[in-house]
Chains A and B, each alone.
Chain A
């Protein structure tokens, strides 16, 4: 079977996508979830267990507290309250901790120690898995069962003041709220004043049941000046006085009501020694949790060592305290000291409810739940509990009752602890079998790629894929049988749940067929390579002559980047790697232009004259890319001619200056968006632009960028698409003006803000129109077989359609990124790639590098939080999953996609048969090498401290990038197909 190398690459990447998908499914375990959706509740609460007689207590127990006030101080570390700082700056709180009616704990937050997941953990009691992060990307509303939802359903009135995140998570839950934005990290006074100013009024009114206050100032101080700054002390004193105010007010109210109230002081996460958070160091995960209520007993002396509990325990405790059902997905266990003072029957009842909820969750998530020690303990405790209730109802002896009761209590507490632990660890279990199969597929594809590289790059852009040869078919069946046997063995022996085992036999069979087919293909490629190398051994001559500095840099840079993915810091700061690489690339290009201009390139060996000989070197080194797209005959003329040509078409100094221009553009873009972890909080140009004071400047810049985009794109378009492009870009500006981000000069400042649906759809029409014209031109070129021109114009129109879509989706402050990307493409094409005659492989790698750098220039990072989900809502009035996902993905990967589409256009316009096909192969290769290496790295680093905070998001990004690469390769092949038929 003969395949073009483009088609070969596209199918290989498609298979690789399957492999990565299987790997990711095994790597990210499905989160612990209750199957019952929160919508259908109203189920009756579990009755008290009884042995024989009927219980007279089937309703939920009454609430323990009438009012609950939650004071959440962002980034409150445990030693700020319990340590020396607490003693010094928080005297009232220290008094409450040591002598007051309170219970103090150190609550451990699970990474990622970032505000939103932590609020979720506090309110739902569940541990958000990474799959959740993806699932909830589209709607910030918390869909899972949580305490606030239950409280609202029970008719409680909730008031909230503080961080806006809460309002986004719980949009309809509060009867009154005032969200402060956490956007300006430099402000640490106003954010807290905005919360405290409501306090007096609300405390006096008392017409609420739950009051939540989220103070952001401390976190901001931490980000500005670290945990040892003197500002921290002031802030803690301020918080202490707030707490005192609330507590005294609650105490005075307590006298009037029957039930006492509860005051909760907690932090969402801690603060590292540098003042940041997000990872899993002890300072970041330890937060204080202080429960204050007159219902608790006063303590005689000071307790200096608070007990360690989980942050997720608060949800269950609050639910019990307010007399609500415990959230279904909660994995926390009730904080026992809170109910310690109640009668034995109530205590047992509460513990039973909590244990029952946990064991239900376990039943739904673990197939072999009956073997779990926690579950066994629970069954035991439930039985004893039943006996106890029976005894209690029969008015038995109080001594025996007490003795038995304590025993039941102990059993329940043990069961709670074990269940909670096994549910939390359930999240962190890897499905090694699926991971191994996924890795196997990816590595096989990579091996196939590497083995066919020399063949594709030197000979012709076609490959023999000998799948049908009889020898291999025997081997094929053999491998298939072995794999199936292994599969049966693994699936029957393993206890834990496994994704592949839960698949149907047909799907598993298909995967196994794929694996064995790939295996045979690799073997055949190996044999072919051995034959090739014996044939070509004689020709093996001068090895290093084909290496220019740029070639060396491209190879070393690619290898270096792949290796850097093993270090968490390099993953966090990957943008630095790419900026560094493209800078070096520009300097190398500058050196090349200098040398070929000043020295007339006489020292340069004739790179393009000995293509055949260089192919021999290629066998030794798969990544070297020396085959030019200009044929050997024209190549012998050397670079001197090309430079003379260049001088004819453009001034020599433009050639010399162009790498420096590109460098300057890159430096400007770099200061537009700060990204990564270390630099994310540094001030940058985009923050300045997006602040509301600089709307005029933002409008000006956006308009200028749109004009530049139009100027750069329109030159190669046909007249129709020129007009469409102009109208479309105008529509982009109108859209941004309609949603109130930019303004027209004649517009007044306070104009009504709409969603801009009409404007956005207006632009979509033009995008589709331009894409349609482009496709039409392409098809015409294929059918009529006219000159290249129609086809080139068609491809450029496709490119400009994508540019228009990108202009619509990118936020206005990112429009310069788009303009600069087009500028760099134009400059590089005109002054570097054409005059210097780089070959297809070099150009492909350069396009890939620039695409990656532009991915980060637009403000992306390897952190999920930087994805701009607002792109998914452009022009849609309701949330629609498919278009929203497509738009978000396109908006995120604008850089790589636009550079790839430019690559297709550029190589087609050069008009060489095999260049496009080779380039497609190179592109697929260079994209799949990092993915394959990264999968192996992640597997070996799966117990690394930063696996969830750093490596997992990057894995998702890599997976998505591979999917996009597959799409790009498919387009490559499609364009190439027309060429083949024509030629």
Chain B
């Protein structure tokens, strides 16, 4: 593991953070009275799209996973299709989990689903980019001592922090402050976004800090 690797990781992550900021500020030039709280659903779509784009771009440019194995076009297409299916599956799975957590079943379906989309953008899309549609690899990364590179380490940190953010975001809902952001699912989406951003910022720093202790099986 070299410092250049960590630097590259830092820049990619900062790019992701930047894309989230863009999704907050750019639409207000095109749409009148745009704000994250009022036009929340629009913002969710824009944010999810921009984060996905940046992730895909960085995957194509940086190619952190050193899969040297040449593969045919058809293999690539099936792989891409599989990724799409995985993404949709994760959206639906998260939607189901939200309903199990007590989200209304019939009302606010669109809101709940978009929250699921955003959360899977923050978690599933990076996983798909890095690990591909390979469940076993996912499980390996997310169990203790299963990480094999700094990219996977960063992925682990951002995913866990996004989920934790969304989880913590549910706390203010029962409070009686009657603020506009306490409405389902705004506080949760905001929590997930904050968690994701925090994970992106923290992970390179944390890896840099612990670079002596970190030993990966590959390196």
Q: Which A residues lie at the B interface, using CB under 8 A? A: 567-570, 572-573, 576, 579-580, 583-584, 587, 594-595, 598-599, 603-605, 663-664, 666-667, 670-671, 676, 678
A472 shortest CB reach to chain B, Å: 45
- B140 proximal to A (CB < 8 A): yes
Interchain CA distance A664-B136 in the complex, whole Å: 26
**Residues of the B chain whose Cβ atoms lie less than 8 Å from the Cβ of A579:** 101-102
Taken together as a complex, chains A and B put the C-alpha atoms of A479 and B122 apart, in Å, by 60
> Which residues of the other chain, A, contact B143 by a CB distance below 8 angstroms?
595, 599, 603-604
The distance in angstroms between the C-alpha atoms of A599 and B135, with both chains bound, is 11
Given A569-B176, A598-B136, A598-B139: A603 touches B101 (CB 8 Å cut-off): no
Q: Which of B101, B146, B174, B176 has the most CB of A within 10 A?
A: B174
Bound form: Cα–Cα A957–B126 in Å: 47
Closest approach, in angstroms, between the C-beta of B81 and any C-beta of chain A? 24
Contact B139 A569 (CB under 8 A): no
Taking a contact as CB atoms under 8 Å apart, the answer to whether B136 and A576 are in contact is: no
In-complex Cβ contact of A604 among B101, B105, B144, B170 (8 A): B144
Interface residues on B, range: 20 to 34
Contacting residues of chain B (118-176) with chain A, CB-CB under 8 angstroms: 135-136, 139-140, 143-146, 167, 170, 173-176
Is there an interface contact between B174 and A583, defined as CB atoms closer than 8 Å?
no
Within 8 Å CB of B144, what residues of A? 603-605
Interface residue from A572, A598, A667 paired with B99 (Cβ < 8 Å): A667
Given known A580-B170, A598-B139, contact A667–B175 (CB-CB < 8 A):
no
Does B37 sit at the interface, judged by CB under 8 A? no
Asked if A603 and B175 sit within 8 Å, CB to CB, the answer is no
B97 at the interface (CB under 8 A from A): yes
Q: Return 6 A-B CB contacts under 8 Å, by A number.
A: A568-B176, A580-B101, A587-B97, A603-B143, A667-B100, A676-B174
Contact, CB under 8 Å: A573 / B174: yes
Q: Do B175 and A670 have beta carbons less than 8 Å apart?
A: no
Q: Is the CB of B146 within 8 A of A670?
A: no
B146 pairs with A667, CB closer than 8 A: no
- Closest Cβ of chain B to A280, distance in Å, is 13
Within 8 A of A (CB), among B167-209: 167, 170, 173-176
Q: Interface on chain B toward A: helix, strand, loop, or mixed SS?
A: loop
Query: Out of B101, B136, B174, which one reaches A570, CB within 8 Å?
Result: B174
With both beta carbons as reference points, the residue of chain A lying nearest to B177 in the complex is identified as A569
Residues of B within 8 Å of A671, CB to CB, are: 105
Across the two chains, which residue of chain A brings its CB closest to B145?
A603
Give the distance in Å from the alpha carbon of A569 to the alpha carbon of B179 in the complex.
Answer: 14
Query: B residues within 8 A CB of A580?
Result: 101-102, 170
Q: How far is the CA of A919 from the CA of B25 in the complex (A)?
A: 55
CB distance from B123 to the nearest CB of A (A): 14
Q: List the A side residues contacting B100 at CB < 8 Å.
A: 583, 663-664, 666-667
The CA-CA distance from A603 to B143 in the complex, in Å, is 7
Residues of chain B within 8 A (CB-CB) of A598 are: 135-136, 139
| A603 in contact with B174 (CB, 8 Å) | no
Main secondary structure of the interface of A (DSSP, over half): helix
Interface residues of B in 81-104 (CB under 8 A from A): 97, 99-102
Best-buried of A579, A580, A664, A670 by chain B (most CB within 10 Å): A580
Interchain CB contact (< 8 A) of B102 among A594, A599, A670: A670
- Residue among B97, B140, B144 with most chain A CB within 10 A: B144
Complexed CA–CA distance, A573 and B171 (Å): 11
Question: Is B140 a contact partner of A576 (Cβ separation < 8 A)?
Answer: no
Chain A contacts for B145, CB-based, 8 A: 603
Q: When chains A and B are docked, how far (Å) is the Cα of A662 from the Cα of B97?
A: 12
Task: Answer whether A576 and B102 are a contact pair too, CB < 8 Å, given A587-B97, A595-B143.
Answer: yes
A570 & B175 in contact (Cβ 8 Å cutoff): yes
CA distance A667 to B99 in the complex (A): 8
Closest chain B residue, CB of each to CB of A605: B144
Name the CB-closest residue of B to A587: B97
Contact A603 B97 (CB under 8 A): no
Q: B163: nearest residue on chain A (CB-CB)?
A: A587
Contacting pair A583 B101 (CB below 8 A): yes
Task: Say which residue of B97, B140, B175 sits within 8 Å of A569 (CB atoms).
Answer: B175
- The 8 Å CB contact of A599, one of B97, B101, B139, is B139
Nearest chain A residue, comparing its CB with the CB of B143:
A603
Pair B175/A594 contact, Cβ less than 8 Å: no
> Contacts of B101 on A, CB cut-off 8 Å?
579-580, 583
- A576-B174, A594-B139, A595-B139 given; A584·B167 CB < 8 A: yes
Give every chain A residue within 8 A of B99 (Cβ-Cβ): 667
| Cβ–Cβ contact B102 & A567, under 8 A | no
Closest A residue to B140 using CB positions? A599
Within 8 Å CB of A599, what residues of B? 139-140, 143, 146
CA distance A915 to B76 in the complex (A): 55
Please name all residues of chain B whose beta carbon is closer than 8 Å to the beta carbon of A678 when the two chains form the complex. Answer: 174, 176
**Contact among A569, A594, A666 with B174 in the assembled complex (CB-CB below 8 Å):** A569
B167 to chain A: closest residue by CB: A584
Give the complex CA separation of A757 and B118 in angstroms: 58
Q: Which 4 A-B pairs have the closest CB atoms?
A: A573-B174, A569-B175, A603-B143, A663-B100
Minimal beta-carbon separation of A548 from chain B (angstroms): 9
A residues near B146, Cβ cutoff 8 Å? 599, 603
Q: Give bound CA distance, A595 to B140, whole Å.
A: 8
Give Cα A778–Cα B99 distance, bound, in whole angstroms.
Answer: 44
Q: Within 8 Å CB of A605, what residues of B?
A: 144
Residues of chain A lying within 8 A (CB to CB) of residue B176: 568-569, 678
A563 smallest CB distance to B (angstroms): 11
A567 touches B139 (CB 8 A): no
What distance in Å separates the Cβ of B12 from its nearest Cβ neighbour in chain A?
A: 27
Cα separation A569 to B182 with both chains bound (whole Å): 13
B144 to chain A, nearest CB (A): 5
Q: A583-B100, A598-B136, A599-B139 are in contact. List 7 more A-B contacts (CB 8 A).
A: A570-B174, A570-B175, A576-B173, A583-B101, A584-B167, A594-B139, A595-B139
CA A671 – CA B99 in complex, angstroms?
11
- Inter-subunit contact A567/B175 (CB<8 Å): yes
Least Cβ–Cβ distance between A603 and chain B, in angstroms: 5
Q: How far is the CA of A666 from the CA of B144 in the complex (A)?
A: 29
Give the CA-CA distance A594 to B139 in the complex, in Å. 8
B175 neighbours in A (Cβ, 8 Å): 567, 569-570
Mark interface residues in B17-36 (1 if CB within 8 Å of A CB, else 0): 00000000000000000000
Chain B residue with the shortest CB-CB distance to A576:
B174
Q: How far is the CA of A594 from the CA of B143 in the complex (A)?
A: 10
Q: Which residues of chain B are within 8 angstroms of A667 by Cβ–Cβ distance?
A: 99-100, 102
| Chain B positions within 8 Å of A569 at CB level | 174-176
- Which B residues are CB-close (under 8 A) to A663? 100
User: How many angstroms between the C-alpha atoms of A583 and B167 in the bound complex?
Assistant: 11
Cβ of A837 to closest chain B Cβ, rounded Å: 18
Q: How many Å from the CB of B120 to the closest CB on chain A?
A: 16
Which residue of chain B has the shortest Cβ distance to A597 in the bound complex? B139
Chain B: which residue is nearest A577 at the CB level?
Answer: B174
Query: From B178, which residue of chain A is reached at the shortest CB distance?
Result: A274
Residues of chain A with a CB closer than 8 A to B139's CB: 594-595, 598-599
The distance from the CB of A646 to the nearest CB of chain B, in whole angstroms, is 18
Chain A residues with Cβ below 8 Å from B167 are 584
**Separation of A678 and B102 alpha carbons in the complex (Å):** 14
Please name the residue on chain B nearest to A603 by beta carbon: B143
A477 to B22 alpha-carbon distance, docked (Å): 72
Taking the closest CB of chain A, its distance from the CB of B219, in whole angstroms, is 18
